[in-house]
Structure 1
Amino acid sequence: MRPLDWIVLLGTLGFIVIYGVWKTRGSQDIEGYLKGNNSMKWWTIGLSIMATQASAITFLSTPGQAYEDGMRFIQFYFGLPIAMVIISITVIPIFYRLNVFTAYEFLENRFDLKTRSLAALLFLVQRGLAAGITIYAPAIILSTMLGWSLTATNLIIGVLVIIYTVSGGTKAVSVTQTQQMAVMMGGMLVAGFMVVQYLPENVSFGDAVAVAGKMGKMNVVDFSFDWDDRYNFWSGMTGGLFLALSYFGTDQSQVARYLGGKSIAESRLGLLFNGLLKIPMQFMILFIGVMVFVFYQFNQPPVFFNEAARSKVYATPYAGEMRELETKYTAAFQEKQEAVHGLVAALKTENEAAIVIAENKVDALTTAAKAVREEVKGVISKATPKAETKDTDYVFISFVMKYLPAGLVGLLLAVIFSAAMSSSSSELNALASTTVVDIYRRSVKQHASPKHYLIASKLFTIGWGLIAVLFATYASLLDNLIQAVNIIGSIFYGTILGIFLVAFYFKYIRGNAVFWAAVLAELVVLYCHFYTDIAFLWFNVIGCACVILFGFILQPLLGREKV
């Protein structure tokens, strides 16, 4: 890190925190603190919704996902625009009419207190875990790349978020997210431009896209059906739809964003704005990852992107074996580099026979290089058994730190910190809101003053922030981070969505039946997660369908009376 990078990084983060505190100071009651006095415009709502979902994991992990697996992760979002329309038409008017602070208040009106409390607790468990990962994801990578301690990095992110979230509540979250989205998207566009500029002179942008396509990275849509395949058109349009319905319709971290709108129209426009822009945004981030992949076809990548983990091997008896593998990898890369240049030349001539020959050669050499990388991972596991051998999440940040000029490194680190702060602030605000409104005010202390609940909201925000930091400090890396967050969400979201769908559309089913149906449905989802190979996106469909099915089965057995 050079001085200019530190100036850009600290200046950006300092401005966001100070602006958030100054702009939203003076909340005097729980209405202003948790709903922002319903003063949000549609563009603030839309940007806040996008920023809440676009965590640091998005900017760290998504390019690495594309580097390894191509563009097919974009299918995860195919159901999202449809979900935005459904929520705008059905959910928003109900929440506004009931004037609720949280989504779960509605469930007591429709069912009973225990069903409301169950949904709130499911949310608190799910979002509490996710909040820890949201902080941990960038912290583990940034601490490794910058040489900081993991605890210190967790504390920096956590404390910055707690300061302005406690100060201004929901409005502070939404206001700061507008600036954070500008930083995030601006930084990623600059990174995308730079990686294309770094391609060899004889390789045009069109050549880069063609090479990516021939190497299997432009796999945007896959219509094949496979229950075990996480990302295809069908899982995106069904499982992705149900996940989006639950996340945006029942997750308080998102519901709070549009409950603070000036009107139903403003909230609807904010959601639709997100529905229109989310897929293009994710496409851009994935595409940047693909361009980084193409860049590394002409410039030798590290044999293992987590340089800190690789370097530890040299202090062990396996150092010689690692050096041999690195030499072998360099030779394999040089041979593949020549083959990729040959593929580019063949593509320029449009000679199909030459293209097929070059493509087959590149594929064979790519497979050989991957085999060497697998050997390297095996050596790392033997040398340092606790080391994480999946380095996908380090691909993009490794490129940034090694190749971008002074100032831009600081900007991209500001992107990652901003994304971590934006998602974490939404999560802490939502966790505090749900804890105060659905648990504390409803079941613990029912008749306190507005000031008491305001203070309680701030204290619970601090408490959840500390829990998230603690969890982040002691968490272990979970596969690819963006998948880890979505897996955790899918385990709980289907059940929560099922409760809400029953509430909205199945008046026959009452409180006792839906409560026990939800308990059974969650057990089914947990079984699917731990004992089957079903792709996690389907958990959303399974959980939701089970709540509805079990509800219809249990209702005649438990009676029609609301408890």
Structure 2
Amino acid sequence: MQTLDWIVLIGTLLTIVIYGTYQTRGSKNVQDFLKGGSTSKWWTIGLSVMATQASAITFLSTPGQAFHSGMGFVQFYFGLPIAMIVICMVFIPLYHRLKVYTAYEFLENRFDRKTRSLTAILFLIQRGLAAGITIFAPAIILSVVLGWNLILLNIIIGILVIIYTVSGGTKAVNVTQKHQMVVIFTGMVIAFIIILNQLPSDITFKKALDIAGASGKMEVLDFSFDLNNRYTVWSGLIGGTFLMLSYFGTDQSQVQRYLSGKSVKEMRLGLIFNGLLKIPMQFFILLVGVMVFVFYQFNQAPLNFIDSSIQKVLVSEYADDYQAIVLKNDSLFKKKTDVSLAYAKASSANLKQELFALDSIEMTYRNETKFLIKRTVDTTYAKTYDKLALEVDQLKADTSSVRFKEKNIALNKLYKKSAEDNNTNDKDYMFISFILKYLPKGLIGLLLAVILSAAMSSTASELNALASTTTIDLYKHRVGPKTDAQMVKASRGFTLLWGIMAIGVACVANLAENLIQLVNIIGSIFYGNVLGIFLLAFFFKQIKANAVFVAALITQVLVIGLFFLDKYDLINLPFLWLNIVGCAIVMAIAFILQTTFKTTNPDTV
């Protein structure tokens, strides 16, 4: 990084922190600190809601997702507009009428304190983990790519967020997020324009889309019911709707954003604004990743974007194997460039088929590289794989035998897992690697500011919500009524405490999943259960507190069990479906228990 990049990066971040702290230095009562004085306009709410969801993971991971898998990930958000309409019609009027500070206050009015506390604790667990990941995600990638100290980066990001969140509470979060979204949008648009300008002069935007389409990157819609495919129209519309209902309707980090609204109308307009803009925004970010893919059809990409992992292979016993893959890939790249140019000039079915085949071969080379990296960094894995490979080789005389099939399946699973290791999974490193290598001075600093601003905006919302929930739903009821000054002091204290805990989680975190998927997986484990509790509260008055409380405990255990069964390939249940499954289970068990309670004790409430 050059001096200009450092000036842009540091100047942008400090400006946001100082502005947010200065503008909200007068937050002295609970109404101001936790609900921003209920004065926010719809555009502030809309941008704040988007900024909360659009973490650094969005801008690091989503382009990498598109680079490897294409535009299909946008289907994940198809349920968002539906969820926004339901929340505007049902959730917002109820929250506003009850004048709640947190979503979970409503549950005590409807059920009892223990149900409110349980739901609040479920939120604190999953959002506390997510807060650590939103700090860790950009820190781990920047530390690997730039050589910065990981622990120091975690601490710096965390402290910057803590400063203005402790100082100004919800209003500080809302004020800073507007400016962070301006930085984010500006940076991504400029990056997109520069990528297009760096393509060969005869490759127009339309031709770039044609090349991406020929390689299967522009397949947006998948109407199949294949559970092996995580992202389809149906998983987005059904599983996505339930996830978004849970996230925006019951997750305090989002609820707190629109509870700061001046009126029901402002809250509704803010969420509708988010519902209309979010899918185009995600589509655009994915399109940036696709354009980087096209760029690399004419500029050779590394076989793995984690340079430190490649360096380990080069000094290992697998160096010669890696060099052999490099030579094959060099030859492939020349051919792919020629075919891409030919297809851009005169597209034909044969050229399209050839381009798709060449891209598939390149993916094979990438997977072979991941396999070598995994063997290099994990000697236990290498020994296990070698042992299995030897057994398969010894049994290949009878390929129809049960033992051969079992060992061969185990071998293939082990090979597949090499691509999921955090030392080999380079999806999240692609975009930052491109930024540092190909963008001009000054813009590198701006794009790094985009990534860190996004990390700060999401983390600030999370800390603010964690503190509000801890203060209102747990602390207040344990210590009794307090003055405004004491409640604000407690809220600031809990913000600081959760900030320190988030930094701690970030410092011990270890990620193997694609980052944007991991955050949504954590949410899906908890959100379905919580949404089911709220739906029971809204629409089924005959269901009482004890039935809901017991059902929620049982459901959470079952959902966690289902997640691990899928993780270890014992069942096939993509994480998005956990939202609807968890919601359905808690509601079904609550109905069964309520019926049982009524039968055994008619006076049960």
- Given the alignment, which residue of 408, 416, 439 partners 1:404? 439
Are positions 1:219 and 2:216 aligned together? no
1:381/1:387 contact within 8 Å kept: no
SS at match of 2:70: helix
SS at match of 1:301: coil
Are positions 1:329 and 2:332 aligned together? no
Deviates most, 409-418 or 327-336? 327-336
Where do 5+ consecutive residues of structure 1 fail to align?
348-354
Alignment match, 1:352: none
- Given the alignment, which residue of 361, 366, 376 partners 1:373? 366
Deviation, 1:370, is: 1.8
Are positions 1:462 and 2:455 aligned together? no
Q: Residue by residue, what CA displacement relative to the aligned partner does 1:40-70 show, whole Å, maximum 9, x if unpaired?
A: 1111000000000000000000000011111
- Given the alignment, which residue of 547, 552, 559 partners 2:586? 547
1:380/1:387 contact within 8 Å kept: no
Alignment match, 2:425: 390
Are positions 1:434 and 2:427 aligned together? no
Deviation, 1:228, is: 3.2
SS at match of 2:346: helix
SS at match of 1:247: helix
Q: 1:362 and 1:539 mapped to 2: Cα distance?
A: 37
Alignment match, 2:273: 273
Alignment match, 1:519: 553
Q: Under a length normalisation based on structure 1, what TM-score does the superposition of the two structures give?
A: 0.97
Q: 2:603 and 2:486 mapped to 1: Cα distance?
A: 36
SS at match of 2:209: helix
Alignment match, 2:93: 93
Deviation, 1:372, is: 1.7
Alignment match, 2:482: 448
Q: 2:521 and 2:604 mapped to 1: Cα distance?
A: 34
Alignment match, 2:520: 486
- Given the alignment, which residue of 558, 577, 583 partners 1:538? 577
Q: 1:114 and 1:381 mapped to 2: Cα distance?
A: 47
* 1:164-183 to 2 correspondences below 5 Å: 164-183=164-183
SS at match of 1:508: coil
Alignment match, 1:128: 128
Deviates most, 368-377 or 49-58? 368-377
Q: 1:418 and 1:178 mapped to 2: Cα distance?
A: 11
Q: 2:443 and 2:189 mapped to 1: Cα distance?
A: 11
Q: 2:603 and 2:86 mapped to 1: Cα distance?
A: 30
1:529/1:536 contact within 8 Å kept: yes
SS at match of 2:563: helix
1:184/1:419 contact within 8 Å kept: yes
The amino acid across from 1:149 in the alignment is N
Q: CA distance change for structure 1 residues 96 and 368 in 2, over 3 Å: closer, same or farther?
A: same
Q: Residue by residue, what CA displacement relative to the aligned partner does 1:69-114 show, whole Å, maximum 9, x if unpaired?
A: 1111111111101111111111111111111110000000000011
Are positions 1:357 and 2:350 aligned together? yes
1:45/1:271 contact within 8 Å kept: yes
Are positions 1:137 and 2:172 aligned together? no
SS at match of 1:297: coil
Deviation, 1:562, is: 6.8
The amino acid across from 1:395 in the alignment is M
2:47/2:274 contact within 8 Å kept: yes
Alignment match, 2:562: 528
Deviates most, 52-61 or 365-374? 365-374
Q: Residue by residue, what CA displacement relative to the aligned partner does 1:123-176 show, whole Å, maximum 9, x if unpaired?
A: 001101111111111110011111101101111110100000000000000000
Q: Residue by residue, what CA displacement relative to the aligned partner does 1:518-561 show, whole Å, maximum 9, x if unpaired?
A: 12222221122111320111111011111111111111222475
1:511/1:562 contact within 8 Å kept: no
SS at match of 1:548: helix
Deviates most, 515-524 or 480-489? 515-524
Alignment match, 2:597: 558
Deviation, 1:474, is: 1.1
2:597/2:604 contact within 8 Å kept: no
1:66/1:289 contact within 8 Å kept: yes
Alignment match, 1:350: none
Q: 2:377 and 2:331 mapped to 1: Cα distance?
A: 26
SS at match of 1:261: coil
Q: 2:604 and 2:46 mapped to 1: Cα distance?
A: 37
The amino acid across from 1:551 in the alignment is A
Q: 1:228 and 1:315 mapped to 2: Cα distance?
A: 37
Q: 2:226 and 2:288 mapped to 1: Cα distance?
A: 28
Deviation, 1:457, is: 0.9
Are positions 1:305 and 2:340 aligned together? no
How many residue pairs end up in the alignment?
A: 555
Alignment match, 1:421: 456
Q: 1:229 and 1:324 mapped to 2: Cα distance?
A: 33
Alignment match, 1:243: 243
SS at match of 2:296: helix
Q: Residue by residue, what CA displacement relative to the aligned partner does 1:425-462 show, whole Å, maximum 9, x if unpaired?
A: 000000011011111111x2113332222111111111
SS at match of 1:180: helix
Q: 1:257 and 1:162 mapped to 2: Cα distance?
A: 18
The amino acid across from 1:408 in the alignment is L
Deviation, 1:327, is: 2.5
Deviation, 1:303, is: 1.2
Are positions 1:32 and 2:9 aligned together? no
The amino acid across from 1:372 in the alignment is Y
SS at match of 2:423: coil
Deviates most, 201-210 or 385-394? 385-394
2:216/2:356 contact within 8 Å kept: no
Q: 2:231 and 2:160 mapped to 1: Cα distance?
A: 35
Where do 5+ consecutive residues of structure 2 fail to align?
379-420, 566-570
The amino acid across from 1:552 in the alignment is F
The amino acid across from 1:515 in the alignment is F
SS at match of 1:238: helix
The amino acid across from 1:122 in the alignment is L
The amino acid across from 2:207 in the alignment is D
Deviation, 1:313, is: 2.6
Deviation, 1:378, is: 1.7
Deviation, 1:320, is: 3.4
Q: CA distance change for structure 1 residues 430 and 562 in 2, over 3 Å: closer, same or farther?
A: farther
Q: Residue by residue, what CA displacement relative to the aligned partner does 1:481-533 show, whole Å, maximum 9, x if unpaired?
A: 00000010001000000000000000010100111111222222112211132
The amino acid across from 1:400 in the alignment is I
Deviation, 1:287, is: 0.6
Q: 1:284 and 1:183 mapped to 2: Cα distance?
A: 16
